[in-house]
């Protein structure tokens, strides 16, 4: 009998134990962030999208569960904007490795980390180095293709004749449409269509290049969507990213 939920945080400890015993020994963990997403999206955007993305992936896999989302990531490059919370890279790596050790201890054999924030990709890859040597036979893996991740989102935008510039790498049409799909009550439409308050340009950490400066303008990259942004729509879906 399958567990009543695929999300371990919604289960009791006996239910998690029994699911593992029934062969549900693959677990996926999202790695998001709490950081500014322009004047129109909530700071929890990456965590919100990552949590739902992992859920969509788990629903496609046989005998896989969803673990707790790591909600704070590496966001130093957004600290010019109020509300952003960041971890030092070494702290984030330690958290990821501790999560992997805990899940392996309980009997999960495959532990997959899925980042939904660009600043987490390189640190996640670093966290995997040598980790499997200390997991008692379990295997930890991380998705590390940032360019491919952004490419999937911009590819969906292209299907609606939306340019990569409007689709954006941060708080553009792609993330706006996903937030509209998942939590439309968090969306500030009026702010989305204007060029808002500007903040100083900041150098991006080394792992964020070749994008030399993030963020710019009012926190969106590469630029605000403008009044003609037809991509502010509920048409976007999580399916392409979860394949």
Q: Which domain holds residue 90?
A: 8-242
Neighbours of 19 (CB within 10 A): 23
Token pair recorded at residue 42: 């909530």
Residue with tokens 């490419």: 151
Task: Write down the mean pLDDT value for the chain.
Answer: 84
Burial class (CB in 10 A: 0-12, 13-18, 19+), 165: middle
The confidence band for 59, taking pLDDT boundaries of 50, 70 and 90, is very high
- Within a domain: residue 192? yes
Token pair recorded at residue 13: 């400890």
pLDDT reading at 222 higher than 60: no
More confident residue, 53 or 154: 53
pLDDT reading at 7 higher than 60: yes
Mean pLDDT, residues 145-168 taken together: 86
- Within a domain: residue 47? yes
Q: Please say whether the beta carbons of 137 and 109 come within 8 A.
A: yes
Q: Please say whether the beta carbons of 73 and 211 come within 8 A.
A: no
* Count of structural domains within the chain: 1
DSSP alpha helix (H) spans, 183-226: 189-192
pLDDT tens, 83-134? 999 999 999 999 999 999 999 999 999 999 999 999 999 999 999 999 999 9
- Within a domain: residue 2? no
- Within a domain: residue 218? yes
pLDDT reading at 65 higher than 70: yes
Token pair recorded at residue 35: 């950081």
- Within a domain: residue 66? yes
The confidence band for 223, taking pLDDT boundaries of 50, 70 and 90, is low
Calculate the alpha carbon distances from 187 to 11, 91, 112, 114, 215 in Å: 30, 31, 30, 24, 20
- Run of H or E residues at 28: strand 26-31
pLDDT reading at 72 higher than 80: yes
- Within a domain: residue 232? yes
pLDDT score, position 229: 42
DSSP alpha helix (H) spans, the chain: 13-21, 45-60, 89-105, 121-128, 146-158, 164-167, 173-182, 189-192, 239-242
pLDDT score, position 115: 97
The confidence band for 192, taking pLDDT boundaries of 50, 70 and 90, is low
Q: What is the pTM of this model?
A: 0.84
Interatomic CA distance for residues 133 and 219, integer angstroms:
40
Q: Tell me the CATH number at 153.
A: 3.40.50.10310
Cβ-Cβ contacts under 8 Å for 14 (sequence gap 6 or more): none
Token pair recorded at residue 116: 């939904």
- Within a domain: residue 119? yes
- Within a domain: residue 97? yes
Interatomic CA distance for residues 231 and 243, integer angstroms:
22
pLDDT tens, 145-155? 999 998 888 88
């Amino acid at each position: 009998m399958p567990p009543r939920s695929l999300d371990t945080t919604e289960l009791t400890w006996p239910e998690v134990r029994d699911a593992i015993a029934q062969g549900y020994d693959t677990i996926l963990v999202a790695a998001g962030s709490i950081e500014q997403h322009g004047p129109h999206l909530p700071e929890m955007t990456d965590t919100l999208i990552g949590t739902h993305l992992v859920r969509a992936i788990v629903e496609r896999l046989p005998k896989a569960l969803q673990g707790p989302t790591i909600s704070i990531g590496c966001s130093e490059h957004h600290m010019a904007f109020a509300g952003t919370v960041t971890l030092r890279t070494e702290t984030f790596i330690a958290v990821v490795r501790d999560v992997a050790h805990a899940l392996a201890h309980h009997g999960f054999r495959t532990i997959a980390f899925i980042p939904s924030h660009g600043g987490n990709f390189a640190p996640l890859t670093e966290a995997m180095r040598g980790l499997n040597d200390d997991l008692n036979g379990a295997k930890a893996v991380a998705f590390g293709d940032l360019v491919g991740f952004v490419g999937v989102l911009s590819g969906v935008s292209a299907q609606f004749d939306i340019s990569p510039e409007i689709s954006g790498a941060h708080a553009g049409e792609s993330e706006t449409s996903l937030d509209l799909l998942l939590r439309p009550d968090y969306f500030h439409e009026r702010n989305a269509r204007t060029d808002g308050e500007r903040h100083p340009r900041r150098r991006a950490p080394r792992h964020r290049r070749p994008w030399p400066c993030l963020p710019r303008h009012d926190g969106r990259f590469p630029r605000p969507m403008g009044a003609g942004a037809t991509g502010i729509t509920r048409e976007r879906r999580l399916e392409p990213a979860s394949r």
